[in-house]
């Protein structure tokens, strides 16, 4: 069972994040409907040090909620305040995410 995937520092762009998010969301949705038949074990994703925009982070955040991810590393991705706001909108109802690493990004006190 795949529980951890590290895609850090692999030049993953918005297109790559969209593919990952699509698979995570589909698998997560199917697992929530029938967990015995379709178990979904992936809980920790590392996307650190990749050039992903606010839109890409929004897609990923929505998939994180659907797939019940517990740990996400997004350090060193040049996330701005706008990108963080987009993610926060998608993560507002998330009850499974325990750790989100946003260290070494372009966030301010806003």
Per DSSP, the residues of 5-56 read EE-TTS---HHHHHHHHHHHHHHHHHHHH-TTTS-----EEE--S----HHH
pLDDT in tens, the chain (110 residues): 789 999 999 999 999 999 999 998 888 888 888 888 778 888 999 999 999 988 888 888 889 888 889 999 999 998 899 888 888 888 888 889 999 999 999 999 87
Closest CA to 66 of 30, 104, 101: 30
Q: What is the largest CA-CA distance in the chain?
A: 45
Alpha carbon 35 to its chain's center: 21
């Amino acid at each position: 069972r795949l529980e951890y995937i590290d895609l850090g520092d692999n030049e993953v762009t918005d297109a790559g994040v969209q593919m990952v998010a699509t698979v995570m969301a589909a698998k997560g949705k199917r697992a929530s409907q029938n967990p015995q038949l379709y178990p979904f074990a992936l809980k920790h994703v590392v996307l650190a040090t990749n050039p992903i925009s606010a839109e890409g982070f929004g897609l990923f955040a929505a998939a994180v909620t659907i797939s019940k991810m517990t740990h996400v590393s997004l350090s060193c991705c040049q996330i701005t305040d706008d990108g963080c706001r987009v993610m926060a909108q998608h993560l507002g109802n998330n009850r499974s995410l325990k750790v989100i690493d946003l260290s070494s990004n372009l966030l301010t006190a806003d």
